Amino acid sequence: MLRVSIESLWRKVPTEFSAHFCQRSYHLRTMQSDHHENHGARDHQKRRWNGNKRSQNSGPKSKKSKSSKNVVGVDVLLHDVVALLEAQKLRDDSGQTRSEDDLITSETSNTDIQTSKTPDNTEASLSPQSSLPKPFTEIDVEVKEISSTGDGLAIHPESKRIYVVPFSVPGDLIRAKVIKHFNEEEYSTADFISVVKAGPLRDDSRVQCKYFSTCSGCQFQMLDYEDQLRHKKTIVEKAYMNFSQLPKEMIPPVDMTIGSPLQYGYRTKLTPHFDAPKGYISKADKLRGVKNHFKGVPKIGFNAKGASYTLDIEDCPIGTDAVRMGMKRERLRVASELEKYTKGATILLRESTLRLPKNETNISKTLPDTIKTIESNHIDFKSCVTENRAMTTEYVDNFIFTNIANEFFQNNNSILSPFTQYIRDHIMPPPSNQVKIKNLIDAYSGSGLFTITLSSLFESSIGIDVSAASISSATDNARQNNLPTSQANFMAADAATLFKEITYDPDETVVLIDPSRKGCDEAFLSQLLKFFPRRIVYVSCNVHTQARDVGIIVAGLEKNSGEEIESKKYDIESLVGFDFFPQTSHVEGVAVLNRVDKDEENSKLL
């Protein structure tokens, strides 16, 4: 019998999964809070591995809240490092025949990798008995795999030391600059310098951005797209292996990652930024209102990989044409209005679509600064909105969605049609004699994407979100799509208390969950298990917290008056990743859970 408490499971996973490292101290850099902003991340937290316990040196302590007090910042990267260390040790101990990858290392070990260059260009021996190379020493290492963070995991052939090197793929022989050693964990971090010998997976002719390998936004532009999808499948697999706390037999095979129709030009939102003008101002001058002013146009763009400074980036090929056009326009505007700025700023670039019938094509003459796309029955005019509180419009198939520009909406419109179709195809149970499902509860509903696109499947749907602004947009969106409130209703509430307000019959209800990166809290999961709906569909922008939460649901145990009691159970029907962000290490996860009733469980035992 699998017996674990919600609290013990809920503690064993990171809130963020993407580790980017600062140039010299190699702090953990976490993503921005907008689900998965791949550009401009600025938050730092020191990284130290201590099993599943928080290190006392884990960086600044944030104010604890009810929703976050039990979340532990376990670094996903280190699970991959430990696994590679163990695999390497097993291989060395068993004297196993070398693989093709090992032969690449063997062929180069007597030539390219016998020495390293220190900062003063002197040669330093790297024999297994020697001390580790000093920081900023250049060494050559061969990459064995890509971690779930998107960084390459490389092994130095003589010292057998693991080095974490960005912008590298399996089979690459990479020249890297040593940054920091973590002796207790037996690995080191290094900066990418150059490719000594390209592996079979690398093709640099695929790279479409001149800032690739310096900008922190993309990791995989050198990889074939099918290889990117295969890697993201392994991310989902490892997430459930490491964080669900479930035995292997309870985790179904992960389906192949579903790709994005667009691999470039897909992001409908970008947020480049620039830093405040430099210069010291005394406290006395600050009290008098003295401020620094720019002496020239600042660098406007995104953070450099592994550093705290901003790269000056005039164009980003993963943005849509409208967003890229807006980026050029906004850079010129900032330069012309520089006297208005005494602080740094983030620039909002958000695509908005005006859709018109084909017989109104003459309107195109009065729509400057737009990108025109012609479809079979209509013409879309796409523009770039830059005001935070302005309204934007997007279409998903024939559904229309209007949102406040700086509020969250999925940033890859091209994948939303196959994404919502997949949910539509899998949200209902297989045909049976059981009670028909009539109701949908859309937790963390945002502006109503799922409630509205799935509305035709249910007699009644309700979307819940803590943001009153999102609920206002969702209500307007339902009205624009001609949905009555009985079919698509919304209310502003905390997801942790939503089941107190719901009168649906659980046997006739599906619950769809789409939380932020931190996943669901204990209160929500406990209520969900008590409500016990017929089906659960869990959509997540962080497959590691998703795996943790799904593990809790499938384990089927809840706490009652401080004691663990056995609850009813769920099976994982399917697991799949969606590639919302090609060229990056991010993957969106969808888990479909089916309730196992006692009669079904008994029939399985017969």
Annotated binding residues for S-adenosyl-L-methionine: 410, 444, 465, 514
Place of tokens 């022989």: 173
Q: At what angle do helices 522-531 and 543-555 cross, to 10 degrees?
A: 40
β-pairing, 378-385 with 349-357? antiparallel
Q: Which residues pair with 395 in a beta bridge?
A: 400
User: What token pair was written down for 363?
Assistant: 């309107």
User: What token pair was written down for 282?
Assistant: 């005394």
Integer Cα distance of 128 and 179 in angstroms: 19
Place of tokens 């992001």: 267
User: What token pair was written down for 293?
Assistant: 């002013």
Integer Cα distance of 11 and 72 in angstroms: 6
Other beta carbons within 10 angstroms of residue 208's beta carbon come to 14
Q: Residue 75 has what DSSP assignment? A: -
Catalytic annotation present for 541: yes
Integer Cα distance of 336 and 457 in angstroms: 52
Place of tokens 């502006």: 447
Sign of the Cα torsion 258, 264, 266, 269 reads positive
**Residues near 229 by beta carbon (within 8 Å), at least 6 away in sequence:** 256, 257, 259, 579
Q: Hey, is 102 helix, strand or coil?
A: helix
Q: Which of 163, 162, 161, 186 lies closest to 176, judged by CA?
A: 163
Q: Are 159 and 128 in contact (CB under 8 A)?
A: yes
Q: Residue 1's Cα: distance from chain center in Å?
A: 34
Total length of the chain = 606
User: What token pair was written down for 212?
Assistant: 């690739």
Known binding residues are 410, 444, 465, 514
Integer Cα distance of 254 and 312 in angstroms: 40
User: What token pair was written down for 234?
Assistant: 């392994």
Other beta carbons within 10 angstroms of residue 141's beta carbon come to 29
Integer Cα distance of 213 and 219 in angstroms: 7
Q: Tell me the one-letter amino acid at 212.
A: F
Q: How far apart are the first and last CA of the chain?
A: 18
Residues with a catalytic annotation lie at 541
